[in-house]
Structure formats: structure tokens, C-alpha cells
């Protein structure tokens, strides 16, 4: 599901492609991988097996890595039971390596930020995009830039769009710092004016389960040759257990909503192999209380095939990493969206978990017409044989 | 057919003077025209680039108190969800002294697609944003930086203070002398720290200004193209005048060439060349000549434009704040247009010749007297045509009289053109009538009678040159009266306006402190603080009826003290000067002449202006002249402007006590407050700058008018030289009858001297009327100010003298030849006829 974020972050990589001299595995002038996400790590810190994730520190930005995101999707319903989807993503992109960082003079920047927000309901799909710059020294100066992400209390923002904890970190009576987990309860606020009357949301997110580390204790491999420090991969954890409540405004109309949300956190300096051109990424809330994350990177698998990976998450948050051959993913039907053929109906089978799902987007019009365009929308999962409802989730597809 | 063409052209081999004159006329006409068009085309290109710049079309936010905005202000507004973008603007000096505008942008928040277009394609954005950053610059700015086009990309030119610009990237769509870079790079170059020049936002993205800030809508900022329209119209009118004068020469030369080839044409017809083919060949001849003349003209025009453009650019910059490149940039249609206009003009001038050639009678004889009869008819046509043009002029005048003042610039020029053309058309009939009358007076004196009759015979050929001379003389006189009169008025006005000895522009945050400090100094007799702001003029109430407007207007605050009040010029008051100043102190307003003319306002009218605390109503108690400004302005007492409109502090005028040491005060100020050397300016400097701007404004006008006069003189000279040989043949019989050569020379000199004198004498009233039109119609429409008409007897005498001198010079050359020709040769020429 973090795929979308890849896309967007990729935008900045695309910009960088023009000046990156270290790249040697792609045709000249052509960014490596989708949207440049296959760039080699170079002087940047690199995600690798064996890194221990630490919280709350790792909720904040990692400016020494090239790319990073805070990626939230939610499957909601309004009072009348009408389904409603939303996405809010903050992408970070380092525009210089840690060694080449400019002095923190006024306005100088080494980090670019991009954010996407989307609200969808029926055929309606509203999208907005924002950009900002910051200097990684801002945090040391304890100054807030136009965009950023802090760990304690947790806060990730760009302009007036923000995902922030409302848990106090100091005791009101004594003023002493408390050890509260500020990530357990967040407020998401964002609003965008447009010609339809504007859209946005003010939501409360309450964690009903633990954080989930993907791959090997949080290191998520992204291609078959991923061994050692040169491999492509990322640090990747999720909070898939959000209970979401609040208000969503769409075309000037406000609705009270509730539902389930999924937050992905991922950072890396070389996410994709140079030959990988896109991906299909699922995040599902199943009726059984299980969660499923599964993706395929098209190209870059063993023998040039697709590379698959995923995590099967028990209702108590216990993750089981899925190996490439444990996931079966087949597009069943494509739809014409924004002039492209996009597979909006899939068959996803995880024999190990006894799952055989038919996953379909009820509405195909979920194209994100942003700087780097991609498809991101709500899906409904049904049993492939019986057609019984199994759950809801989000699907992200890039490179189409 | 080729043979026929060669035969036709062989005429010019025998008369190279005529060919030279023809080409000269074409060359000069097309050179002046294309020169001015080159200037206009380059200026338009600059305007188009300026308008395409991202900053135009964006609303601006600035702090109400005049302090600079900071990065924190920007972040605060962004966090509140306002779509603002920071902009840093400043100037740097290039090694050659050119002032370069540095614009620092934040491409992520800059509204509109053009942000990325300005920063380059998205793939170059990283290079734009990160060290060593990039400087985007138009190729025509490179000479100022001292580098050639080829080596420009990637070069890091040095500035005067030894600092280097970020590596250059060429962006031809940027306006001249503008450097665009990332705000981080700009902030380092300009040393501006955390401060900003302003915040910008997409047009109408905000309904109102956030607290403490002033919102200026993009729509209230007039585009340079609109502002300078009248200036370019002026230039075009001058160029058109030059073109017309040049075409007069062309027509004279063509007429002469046809005249002398009549016999040849008849022979050709008799040999079987059809009339149609003859006309076709003559047209081909015109085409050849036209192309040669036009090409030569365009080349010289470009050269002329290159010469004049720096002045034009400086004028447009200082008068309208419009940046114009000093480098020519000419689109393809300029070249095609230049050739087309010259050719069009040539065929217009040659139409008569072709017409006559087409109607050529094969058997007719080329008799001078017969020709004269034809000329009589022509005179009648001229009189009628003159009357027609004059009535068009009258109609225009009547229409203009009904228009509000300040309107109808084009009609004004039309009126001037009609006036000139009618006068020019009436000149030959007038000269003919004058000669006929004189002839009757001198019946008893055969030689004088011969001289007059002979002049009548010359008139057909001379008349065109004389018409050109009349136009050029009167235009020159009109323009020089206007410029001279304006100069007097302007200098006078400058004297009245600049009453302080020193002008100080303190930083906004030090304003109060400095003003207090100045008040305690013995050297300072009076302080005259000023303020400036903008407001919307919503309503005008006149004689009880109210008219709604939404006019963005400049507000200016002055200090009505002992120094200023007696000298500040007023054009019109409600109840006398004293009452006006009293009301002004009490909070009423003065308006400048531009606003009064533009909106039809007069003392006694009431204005409703937008103010921070709602709307403010004031009564206009006086109108003041405001030369050097092109926009409307409402004047208040500084204190009123500060309290009612929240205007930020501006400059302080310092009136020194008698005998005070100016230099010591300046040093004390600089030491005490650490002010830069450029924040204190003395009055002489201000006057020097203002006069400089003024002089530059009219450099072009004067240069073009002098060039036009030169062209007319050439026209006269050329037509006289061209017929010199023929003239000698007519003089020979007189000599044979016993008239001495010295007397023949005298007769010739007096013939033409008198004709020129009459033309010059006619040019004087015409020039005066023209000057009147310029100050009362053209200037009011173009600049918004009306000037008193000044006449300069010296200029008039000079004009007259020029006319006569040109005529005498033109006569002298053939006369000297005549003087030197042995009588035998004269007789031989006569015999050969």
C-alpha cells in the first residue's frame, strides 16, 4: 500500500535524476525504476537488515535517507451507511546527500516535502497536492518549517494539513515530561478549497492494536537480488489498527463518518531495483479481524519476473512475513481510466492463510492526477468462490 | 522586354543625380520609419516578457506599517492555510553599472504553472533549489554581465563587489536585466536574512488582507504595455512624419524622371511597346528601386534604433518604470513590415507617375507650357484636396472638443496630420497665386517679370520639395516649442516642489527615532516627512450627484509647513490659496492634474476612498500640477494620511536653518543611525536626476524632428540639383540677350530664397498651431498634464533662417556652376535642345 507514496516521492527523484552522477545502471537521461525510485543510495544512509526500529524516535523524519512517507488511508461509512474513502500522505525527499547539505542560511533547503489528499465517495473523487521545502537543521533549532515530522509529541505537517497527536507530553500539574505514547491517538486535519466547494476532513484516529513491522523486523526487501547493503529495500512499519471517527467535507457538504484506517511508515534510499517499473499494492481490513499487506513489483523478481512480498497480520497484531512464492496475484479485468488500462479487479490468493480473494474496486475513477499520476482507491474483498464479503481495503497501482 | 527595361533604366545612367535622389528619399524615409518601428518592436517584446513574468498577475501582500515581512510571517500564514508565496526582490550592480533586478522565488508555493516554467523544467528543479543554485537570465542581459552567449550557460559572473552569481542558465522569456533564482540564493546575494520583499498569492485567492497586511490586487497594477502606449504612439507619429517627408522626395524625383523620359516613352510606344507593358515595366523599375531603398533603409534604421534605444529604454524606465532591453530584438514580421511599408509608400508616391505614363499620348509634344496647363489643373485638385483634408481636420477638432479632456490621443494625432497635410496641399496654389499677383505688380520690369514667370514654371517641380519643407519646418517648430515650453514649466515646477535642502529615506523601523533626533538639531529649521500609500477611489460626488468608481489611486502625504506652502504650485483652488491650505491642514485633499483631467474632477468635488477603518470622505480643495508622474494622485497632510489611511513612513525633507552645515548634519546622521550613503540625497542631486529624466524623455522627439528637417532640406536640395542642367538651358537665352551672369545668379538666388521665405513664413503660424495641439491635446492625452503655450522667437527666427539657408544652399551649387560655365557652353546647350 505504500506504493502511492513511492510514486509521489518519486516525483522529486525524477527532478534529481537530471543531476545525479552516481547512477550507472540506467540509460542516460532516464530515471532508474519508476519515477527514479531505483536510484542508487550513494552517500545516503541505506536501509538494511538488522536495523532496530526505535519508537517514538522513528515516527519522526529520517533526513539522512533519500525518501520517506507517512501514508494514511481509511475506509469509512457515513451515518447512512454510504461508503467513503480517504487518503492523506506526506512525502519527504532529500535533495542533497548528507555530505552536500547547504549551510542552514535563511530559505536554504535540503528536504522537499509533498503531500497528497483525496476524498472519494461514489463516482466523486477529489484530489489535492502541496509542496514545501525545509532544512534538516530546523529540527535542531527547534523551529518549525513549512513542513516536517516530529516524534514527541508526534506531529507531521505541511501548511495547515497535519496529522498530530493530541496527547500531552508533560504533566499538567507538575510540568514534567511523561512517557505517554503520543502515537496512539492522532488528529488528522486537512482542507482544500476548490471550485466544487472544497473538501477536507477533521478526524480522530485511535490505535486499537500494536505497530506492525514488515519484512525482517522492519526491513522490507524490494527485489530478488536484495542481499547485503547494495540491495533495494526500505524500513517499513504500519499501524493498521486505527479506529477513525470525525467529519469529512466533500463539495461543501459535511458528513459524520467512522471506519478503519491504515497508516504506513516507510523510508529508504534505494527503494526499487533499476529495472522495476511499477507496482500493485494491497492493504486489506478483513472481517475476521486479520489485516493483509501484499504487493508485487513488476520486474526485478527472480529471472526477471515480478517480485512479491507481504505480511499476514493476526487480529492481535502478530505479523507473519509472506515469501514471494506464498502470494498469488492475478489481474482479472482492466478498466479504462484517464486514458489508461488499469486492472481494477484482481484475484489474490495466500494459500498459507487459506485466503482466495476476488478484489474489486467498486469505482474505477480513482486516478490521482498529481505531479506523478497513479491509481489509488477503495476496494472490496470477496471470497473468490462463494462471493461472500471478506473485507475492505485500499489498492495502489503505479506505472500504468 | 528586357531591352525595354534596360532602355528605361538607362535614363538613370545619364542622370545619376536623379537616381541618387530617388534612392536617398527612399532610404531616409524607410530608415527613420524602420528605426522607430525597431524601437517599438523591441519595447513591445520587453513588455510581453515582463507581463509573462510570474510576478505580474499575482496579488501582493505587504505589511501595513511598512516594515519588511519575515520568514516567520510567511510560515504563520501558510500554517493558517493561506496560499501565499515568499518573494524577494532587490537590485545588484553589474560590472558595467547596469542595475539588475534580482528576484528570489520559492517555486513550490509560487502560484500558477508559470512558476515551474520560470524555474525551468521539473527535471532541473533540483539544480535550481540546491547549491550552487542557478541564475536564470535572458540572453540580452548577458552583455551587462560581460559575457558572450556561447560561454554563458554555467558561467558564474562576478559582480562589482567581487561576489559571484550562481551559474547562469539562459531563459529567453525573462524580461531584460532580471535575474531569477531560488529565494535561498537571492537572500544570500542580497544579504536580506530572514526578511522578504513581499508575499504573493494567486489573483483573487484571498478575499481580504490578513490583519496587519495590505493586499494589492494584480489588476490594480497597470501593465507596462498600457502605460507606455502613448509614448510609442508619439514615436510612431514622428516616424510617420519622416516617412511622408521622405516620400515627398521620392515623388518629386519620380515625377522628374518621368518628365525627362517622356520623349523616350513616346519613342518606345511608337516602336510598338504596348502601353500596358510600359506601365508594367515602370512598376518593375519602382519595385527594384523600392527593394534597394527599403533594404538600405532598414539596415540604417536598425543602426539608428541601436543608437537611440538606450535613451528610449532609460526614458521608459524612469517615466513608467517599464523595463526595456537596450538590445534590439526584432521579430521576422518587423523585417517584412519594413520592406512592405517602404514599397507601399513608394507605389503610393509613384501612382501618379504610372497613371500619367498609362495615359501617355503617342503624338503629344513635351512642351513646357502644355505642362503648365496641366499643372494649373493640378493646383485646382490640390486646393480641393486641401479643403477636403481641412474639413476632416475640422470634424476631428469638433469631435475632440466634445470629448472629455485626456481622451482621443489618436484623434489628436489625426487632427495634427490633417492640419499639416491641408497646409502642405494648399502651399503650391498659394505660391502660384502669390506669383501671379506679383507678376501684375512688376509689369514694367521685364527681368523681374521673367524671374516670376520662370519661378512659376519651376513651381511644379519645386512644389513637392516646398511642401516637404513646410511640413518639416512646422513640425520642428511645433515640437521644439512644446519641448522648450515643457522644459521651462518643468524646471519651474521642480524648483517649487523641492523646497527641502536634504532628502532622507530612513529605514521604516528608525523613522520615528530619526525624526525626533532631527527635531532636536539646531541646523534643522523644518522637517517635512512624507508618506505614501494606495487606496481605492470608490465614489465621486459632484454637484450633488454621485458616480461609482473602483479606481486604484496613489495617496501622497506632505507636510504643509512654512517652507512648503508658499511655493507648492496650485493650478486651481476652491476659495483661494490660503483657504485651500487651511482646509488641507484640516484634513481635506488636493488632487493632481492627471486625476482631475482623467476623472473630470474639480475643486469642490467629494471623494470616497477605501481606508483600513472603512471609507473616508474628503473634499477636493485644490488641483496641483504633477509633471513627471503619469498617474492620478490624491494629496493629504502627512499626519492625516498616517492616521486615516495607515500609510507607512516615507522620506523626510529637511529644511536647513540659515548657515547650517549640511555636510556635518549628514555625517552626524550617518554616524548616529548607521545609515547607508544612499539614504541621504541633497536637493541638487534630486534636481539633477529629475532633469536628466526629463532630457532623456525628449531626446528622441528632438532627434527625430531634427532628422525630419534634415530630410526636407535634402529634398529641396535634391530637386534643385536634379533640374540644374535644365535650368541652365533656360538661362542661356537670357545671357545671350545681355543679362550678365552675376545678375542671373542673383535672380536665381532671390527666386528660391523668396519661395523658401514664404514657405518658412507659413510654417511659423502652422508650427504654433501644432505646438498648441501638442500641449493642449496630445500631451494631455498622453501624459495627463496640460502646459501653457510658450513661444520662442529665437526658435522661430532659426526656423525661418533654416528655410532660407537650405534654399540658398540648394541654389548656390548650381549657381556656382553657372558662374563658371563659359558662355559658349551655355549656348551650345541651348542649341542642342
pLDDT per residue of chain A (400 residues) written in tens, 0 to 9 = 333 333 333 333 333 333 333 333 333 334 445 555 655 556 889 898 899 999 899 999 999 999 999 999 999 999 999 999 999 999 998 988 888 889 888 899 999 999 999 999 999 999 999 999 999 887 766 778 899 999 888 999 999 999 999 776 666 666 666 667 888 999 999 999 888 989 999 999 999 999 999 999 999 988 766 443 345 789 999 999 999 999 999 998 999 999 999 999 999 987 766 667 788 999 999 999 999 999 998 876 666 678 899 999 999 999 999 999 999 999 999 999 989 999 999 999 999 999 999 999 999 999 998 888 899 999 999 999 999 999 999 999 998 8
Ranges B159-173, B219-233, B516-530: which has the least confidence: B219-233
Query: If DSSP codes are grouped into helix, strand and coil, which group holds residue A371?
Result: coil
Does the pLDDT of residue B410 top 80, yes or no? no
| Contact between B129 and A112 using a beta-carbon 8 Å cutoff | yes
Candidates A8, A32, A107, A157: best to mutate against B (most CBs of B within 10 A) is A107
- Tell me which chain A residues have a C-beta less than 8 angstroms from the C-beta of B106: 107, 133
Does the pLDDT of residue B115 top 60, yes or no? no
B104 and A CB contact within 8 Å: yes
**What average pLDDT does this structure show over B795-812?**
80
Closest to B597 (Cα-Cα) out of B448, B474, B477, B776: B776
| Contact between A371 and B78 using a beta-carbon 8 Å cutoff | no
Alpha-carbon Rg of chain A, whole angstroms? 20
**What average pLDDT does this structure show over B224-231?**
60
Alpha-carbon gap: B129 to the closest alpha carbon of chain A (Å): 7
B707 or B804, which is more confident? Answer: B804
pLDDT score at B177: 83
Distance CA B187, CA B195 (A): 8
Peptide bond into B121 cis (omega under 30): no
pLDDT score at A261: 97
pLDDT score at B373: 63
DSSP for B494-508, please give it.
Answer: HHHH---SEEE---G
A30 and B CB contact within 8 Å: no
| Contact between A19 and B109 using a beta-carbon 8 Å cutoff | no
Domain layout of chain A by residue ranges: 3-397
pLDDT score at A289: 95
**What average pLDDT does this structure show over B102-123?**
67
Residues 331-360 of A with CB under 8 A from B: none
Does the pLDDT of residue B187 top 80, yes or no? yes
Distance CA B587, CA B32 (A): 52
Closest to A159 (Cα-Cα) out of A198, A125, A113: A113
Ranges A28-42, A371-385, B157-171, B637-651: which has the least confidence: A28-42
Which grid coordinates are listed for B469?
A: 519643407
Alpha-carbon gap: A116 to the closest alpha carbon of chain B (Å): 14
DSSP type of residue A376:
E
B106 and A CB contact within 8 Å: yes
- State pLDDT tens for residues B534-570: 888 888 998 888 888 778 788 999 998 888 888 888 8
- Tell me which chain B residues have a C-beta less than 8 angstroms from the C-beta of A95: 126, 129-130
Distance CA B244, CA B472 (A): 10
A142 and B CB contact within 8 Å: no
pLDDT score at B219: 62
| Contact between A108 and B184 using a beta-carbon 8 Å cutoff | yes
Distance, CA of A334 to chain centre: 24
pLDDT band at residue B370 using 50, 70 and 90 as cut-offs: low
From A19, which residue of chain B is nearest by alpha-carbon distance? B127
DSSP for B507-518, please give it.
Answer: -GGGHHHHHHHH
- Tell me which chain A residues have a C-beta less than 8 angstroms from the C-beta of B78: 132, 146, 159-160
Alpha-carbon gap: B104 to the closest alpha carbon of chain A (Å): 10
| Contact criterion met (CB below 8 Å) for B581 and B590 | no
By Cβ distance, the residue of A14, A17, A107 closest to B183 is A107
What phi, psi does A82 have (nearest 5°)? -75, 125
| Contact between A95 and B80 using a beta-carbon 8 Å cutoff | no
pLDDT score at A115: 94
Distance CA B684, CA B496 (A): 13
From B75, which residue of chain A is nearest by alpha-carbon distance? A146
| Contact criterion met (CB below 8 Å) for A282 and A75 | no
Residues 188-247 of A with CB under 8 A from B: 191
B545 and A CB contact within 8 Å: no
**What average pLDDT does this structure show over B67-83?**
91
CB atoms within 10 A of CB B437: 10
| Contact between B187 and A110 using a beta-carbon 8 Å cutoff | no
B194 and A CB contact within 8 Å: yes
Which grid coordinates are listed for B569?
A: 504650485
| Contact criterion met (CB below 8 Å) for B787 and B775 | yes
pLDDT score at A344: 95
Peptide bond into A153 cis (omega under 30): yes
- State pLDDT tens for residues B13-45: 887 777 877 787 788 778 878 887 887 777 777
Alpha-carbon gap: A147 to the closest alpha carbon of chain B (Å): 9
A96 and B CB contact within 8 Å: yes
Which grid coordinates are listed for B422?
A: 491641408
| Contact between A107 and B129 using a beta-carbon 8 Å cutoff | no
Q: Report the CATH fold assignment for A3-397.
A: AttH-like fold (2.40.370)
Task: For residue B104, give every residue at least 6 positions away whose Cβ sits within 8 Å of its Cβ, in sequence order, or none.
Answer: A107, B87, B88, B89, B181, B182, B183, B184, B185, B186, B187, B190
Pairing of β B545-558 and β B633-637: parallel
Which grid coordinates are listed for A168?
A: 500531552
- For helices B16-52 and B229-260, what crossing angle results, to 10°? 160
The overall average pLDDT reported for chain B is 79
B129 and A CB contact within 8 Å: yes
Distance CA B477, CA B467 (A): 15
Closest to B332 (Cα-Cα) out of B362, B298, B358, B303: B298
A104 and B CB contact within 8 Å: no
Does the pLDDT of residue B529 top 50, yes or no? yes
Total residues belonging to chain A: 400
pLDDT score at A8: 36
B342 and A CB contact within 8 Å: no
> How many percent of chain B have pLDDT more than 90?
8
A141 and B CB contact within 8 Å: no
pLDDT score at A31: 44
Which grid coordinates are listed for B244?
A: 511622408
The residue assigned the cell 527612399 is B26
- Tell me which chain A residues have a C-beta less than 8 angstroms from the C-beta of B104: 107
- State pLDDT tens for residues B264-316: 888 888 888 887 888 888 888 888 888 888 888 888 888 888 887 777 776 66
pLDDT score at B829: 62
Query: Any idea what the Cα angle at residue B756 is, between residues B727 and B17, rounded to 5°?
Result: 40
A131 and B CB contact within 8 Å: yes
- Kindly state the helix (H) or strand (E) to which residue A165 belongs, with its residue range: strand A161-165
From B129, which residue of chain A is nearest by alpha-carbon distance? A109
Does the pLDDT of residue B722 top 70, yes or no? no
Closest to B533 (Cα-Cα) out of B213, B85, B206: B213
A107 and B CB contact within 8 Å: yes
By Cβ distance, the residue of A19, A106, A145 closest to B187 is A106
- Tell me the pTM: 0.65
Distance CA B345, CA B341 (A): 6
Which grid coordinates are listed for B501?
A: 535642502
Distance, CA of A88 to chain centre: 9
- Tell me which chain A residues have a C-beta less than 8 angstroms from the C-beta of B124: 15, 18
Amino acid at each position: 500500500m505504500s506504493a502511492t507514496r513511492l510514486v509521489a516521492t518519486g516525483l522529486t527523484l525524477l527532478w534529481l535524476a537530471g543531476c545525479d552522477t552516481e547512477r550507472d545502471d540506467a540509460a542516460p537521461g532516464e530515471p532508474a525504476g519508476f519515477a527514479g525510485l531505483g536510484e542508487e543510495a550513494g552517500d545516503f544512509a541505506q536501509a538494511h537488515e538488522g536495523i532496530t526500529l526505535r519508537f517514538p524516535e522513528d515516527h519522526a523524519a529520517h533526513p539522512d535517507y533519500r525518501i520517506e512517507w507517512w501514508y494514511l488511508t481509511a475506509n469509512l461509512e457515513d451515518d447512512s451507511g454510504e461508503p467513503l474513502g480517504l487518503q492523506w500522505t506526506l512525502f519527504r525527499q532529500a535533495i542533497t546527500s548528507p555530505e552536500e547539505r547547504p549551510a542552514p542560511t535563511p530559505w536554504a533547503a535540503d528536504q522537499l516535502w509533498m503531500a497528497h489528499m483525496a476524498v472519494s465517495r461514489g463516482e466523486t473523487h477529489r484530489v489535492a497536492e502541496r509542496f514545501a521545502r525545509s532544512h534538516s537543521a530546523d529540527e535542531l533549532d527547534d523551529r518549525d518549517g513549512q513542513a516536517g515530522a516530529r516524534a514527541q509529541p508526534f506531529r507531521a505537517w505541511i501548511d495547515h494539513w497535519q496529522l498530530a497527536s493530541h496527547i500531552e507530553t508533560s504533566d499538567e500539574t507538575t510540568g514534567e515530561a511523561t512517557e505517554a505514547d503520543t502515537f496512539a491517538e492522532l488528529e488528522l486535519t486537512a482542507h482544500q478549497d476548490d471550485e466544487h466547494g472544497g473538501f477536507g476532513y477533521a478526524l480522530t484516529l485511535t490505535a486499537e492494536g500494536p505497530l506492525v513491522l514488515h519484512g525482517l523486523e522492519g526491513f522490507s526487501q524490494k527485489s530478488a537480488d536484495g542481499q547485503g547493503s547494495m540491495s533495494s529495500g526500505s524500513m517499513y512499519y504500519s499501524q493498521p489498527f486505527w479506529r477513525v471517527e470525525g467529519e469529512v467535507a466533500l463539495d461543501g457538504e459535511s458528513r459524520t463518518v467512522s471506519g478503519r484506517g491504515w497508516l504506513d511508515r516507510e523510508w529508504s534510499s534505494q527503494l526499487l531495483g533499476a529495472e522495476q517499473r511499477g507496482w500493485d499494492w494491497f492493504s486489506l481490513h478483513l472481517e475476521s479481524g486479520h489485516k493483509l499487506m501484499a504487493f508485487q513489483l513488476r520486474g526485478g523478481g527472480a529471472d526477471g519476473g515480478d517480485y512479491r512480498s507481504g505480511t499476514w497480520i493476526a487480529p492481535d497484531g502478530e505479523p507473519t512475513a509472506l515469501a514471494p512464492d506464498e502470494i498469488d496475484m492475478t489481474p482479472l479485468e482492466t478498466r479504462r481510466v484517464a486514458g489508461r488500462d488499469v486492472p481494477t479487479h484482481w484475484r489474490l490468493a495466500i494459500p498459507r492463510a487459506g485466503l482466495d480473494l476476488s478484489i474489486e474496486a467498486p469505482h474505477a475513477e480513482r486516478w490521482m492526477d498529481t505531479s506523478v499520476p497513479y491509481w489509488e482507491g477503495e476496494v472490496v474483498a470477496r471470497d473468490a468462490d462463494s462471493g461472500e464479503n471478506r473485507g475492505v481495503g485500499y489498492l495502489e497501482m503505479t506505472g500504468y | 522586354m528586357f531591352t525595354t527595361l534596360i532602355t528605361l533604366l538607362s535614363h538613370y545612367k545619364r542622370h545619376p543625380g536623379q537616381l541618387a535622389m530617388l534612392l536617398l528619399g527612399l532610404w531616409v524615409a524607410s530608415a527613420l520609419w524602420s528605426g522607430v518601428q525597431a524601437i517599438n518592436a523591441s519595447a513591445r517584446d520587453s513588455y510581453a516578457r515582463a507581463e509573462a513574468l510570474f510576478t505580474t498577475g499575482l496579488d501582493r501582500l505587504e505589511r501595513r506599517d511598512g516594515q519588511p515581512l519575515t520568514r516567520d510571517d510567511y510560515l504563520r500564514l501558510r500554517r493558517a492555510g493561506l496560499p501565499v508565496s515568499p518573494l524577494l526582490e532587490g537590485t545588484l550592480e553589474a560590472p558595467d553599472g547596469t542595475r539588475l533586478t534580482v528576484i528570489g522565488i520559492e517555486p513550490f508555493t509560487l502560484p500558477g504553472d508559470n512558476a515551474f516554467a520560470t524555474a525551468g523544467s521539473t527535471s532541473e528543479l533540483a539544480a535550481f533549489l540546491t547549491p550552487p543554485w542557478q541564475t536564470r537570465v535572458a540572453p540580452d542581459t548577458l552583455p551587462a554581465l560581460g559575457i558572450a552567449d556561447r560561454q554563458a550557460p554555467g558561467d558564474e559572473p562576478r559582480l562589482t563587489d567581487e561576489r559571484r552569481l550562481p551559474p547562469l542558465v539562459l531563459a529567453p522569456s525573462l524580461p531584460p536585466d532580471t535575474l531569477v533564482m531560488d529565494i535561498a540564493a537571492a537572500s544570500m546575494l542580497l544579504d536580506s536574512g530572514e526578511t522578504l520583499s513581499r508575499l504573493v498569492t494567486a489573483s483573487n485567492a484571498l478575499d481580504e488582507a490578513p490583519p496587519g497586511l495590505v493586499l494589492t490586487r494584480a489588476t490594480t497594477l497597470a501593465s507596462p504595455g498600457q502605460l507606455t502606449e502613448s509614448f510609442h504612439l508619439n514615436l510612431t507619429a514622428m516616424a510617420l512624419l519622416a516617412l511622408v517627408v521622405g516620400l515627398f522626395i521620392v515623388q518629386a524625383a519620380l515625377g522628374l524622371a518621368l518628365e525627362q523620359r517622356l520623349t523616350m516613352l513616346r519613342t518606345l510606344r511608337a516602336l510598338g511597346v504596348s502601353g500596358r507593358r510600359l506601365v508594367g515595366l515602370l512598376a518593375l523599375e519602382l519595385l527594384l528601386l523600392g527593394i534597394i531603398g527599403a533594404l538600405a533603409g532598414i539596415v540604417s534604421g536598425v543602426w539608428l534604433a541601436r543608437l537611440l534605444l538606450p535613451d528610449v529604454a532609460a526614458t521608459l524606465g524612469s517615466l513608467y518604470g517599464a523595463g526595456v532591453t537596450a538590445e534590439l530584438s526584432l521579430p521576422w514580421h518587423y523585417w517584412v513590415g519594413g520592406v512592405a511599408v517602404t514599397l507601399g509608400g513608394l507605389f503610393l508616391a509613384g501612382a501618379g507617375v504610372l497613371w500619367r505614363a498609362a495615359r501617355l499620348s503617342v503624338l503629344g509634344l513635351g512642351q513646357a507650357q502644355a505642362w503648365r496647363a496641366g499643372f494649373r489643373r493640378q493646383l485646382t485638385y490640390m486646393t480641393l484636396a486641401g479643403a477636403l483634408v481641412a474639413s476632416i481636420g475640422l470634424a476631428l477638432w469638433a469631435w475632440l472638443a466634445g470629448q472629455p479632456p485626456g481622451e482621443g490621443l489618436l484623434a489628436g494625432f489625426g487632427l495634427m496630420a490633417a492640419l499639416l497635410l491641408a497646409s502642405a496641399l494648399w502651399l503650391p496654389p498659394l505660391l502660384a497665386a502669390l506669383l501671379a499677383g506679383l507678376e501684375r505688380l512688376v509689369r514694367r520690369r521685364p527681368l523681374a517679370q521673367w524671374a516670376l514667370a520662370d519661378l512659376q514654371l519651376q513651381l511644379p517641380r519645386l512644389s513637392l520639395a516646398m511642401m516637404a519643407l513646410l511640413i518639416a519646418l512646422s513640425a520642428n517648430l511645433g515640437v521644439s516649442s512644446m519641448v522648450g515650453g515643457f522644459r521651462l514649466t518643468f524646471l519651474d515646477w521642480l524648483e517649487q516642489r523641492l523646497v527641502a535642502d536634504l532628502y532622507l529615506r530612513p529605514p521604516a523601523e528608525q523613522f520615528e527615532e530619526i525624526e525626533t533626533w532631527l527635531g532636536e538639531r539646531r541646523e534643522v529649521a523644518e522637517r517635512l516627512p512624507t508618506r505614501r500609500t494606495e487606496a481605492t477611489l470608490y465614489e465621486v460626488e459632484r454637484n450633488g450627484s454621485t458616480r461609482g468608481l473602483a479606481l486604484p489611486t496613489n495617496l501622497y502625504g506632505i507636510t504643509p509647513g512654512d517652507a512648503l506652502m508658499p511655493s507648492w504650485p496650485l493650478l486651481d483652488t476652491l476659495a483661494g490659496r490660503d483657504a485651500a491650505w487651511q482646509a488641507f491642514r484640516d484634513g481635506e485633499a488636493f488632487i493632481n492634474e492627471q486625476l482631475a483631467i482623467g476623472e473630470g474632477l474639480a475643486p469642490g468635488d467629494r471623494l470616497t476612498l477605501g481606508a483600513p477603518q472603512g471609507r473616508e470622505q474628503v473634499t477636493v480643495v485644490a488641483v496641483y500640477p504633477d509633471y513627471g508622474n503619469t498617474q492620478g494622485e490624491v494629496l493629504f497632510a502627512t499626519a492625516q494620511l498616517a492616521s486615516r489611511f495607515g500609510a507607512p513612513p516615507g522620506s523626510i525633507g529637511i529644511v536647513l536653518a540659515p548657515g547650517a552645515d549640511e555636510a556635518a548634519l549628514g555625517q552626524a546622521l550617518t554616524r548616529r543611525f548607521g545609515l547607508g550613503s544612499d539614504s541621504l540625497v541633497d536637493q541638487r542631486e534630486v534636481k539633477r536626476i529629475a532633469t536628466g529624466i526629463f532630457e532623456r524623455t525628449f531626446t528622441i522627439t528632438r532627434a527625430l524632428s531634427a532628422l525630419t528637417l534634415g530630410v526636407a532640406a535634402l529634398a529641396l536640395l535634391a530637386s534643385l540639383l536634379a533640374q540644374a542642367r535644365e535650368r541652365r538651358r533656360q538661362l542661356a537665352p537670357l545671357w545671350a540677350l545681355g543679362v550678365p551672369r552675376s545678375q542671373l545668379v542673383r535672380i536665381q538666388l532671390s527666386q528660391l530664397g523668396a519661395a523658401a521665405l514664404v514657405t518658412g513664413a507659413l510654417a511659423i503660424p502652422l508650427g504654433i498651431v501644432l505646438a498648441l495641439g501638442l500641449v493642449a491635446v496630445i500631451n494631455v492625452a498622453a501624459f495627463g498634464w496640460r502646459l501653457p503655450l510658450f513661444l520662442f522667437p529665437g526658435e522661430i527666427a532659426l526656423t525661418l533662417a533654416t528655410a532660407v539657408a537650405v534654399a540658398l544652399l540648394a541654389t548656390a551649387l548650381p549657381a556656382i556652376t553657372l558662374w563658371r560655365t563659359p558662355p559658349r557652353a551655355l549656348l551650345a546647350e541651348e542649341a542642342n535642345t
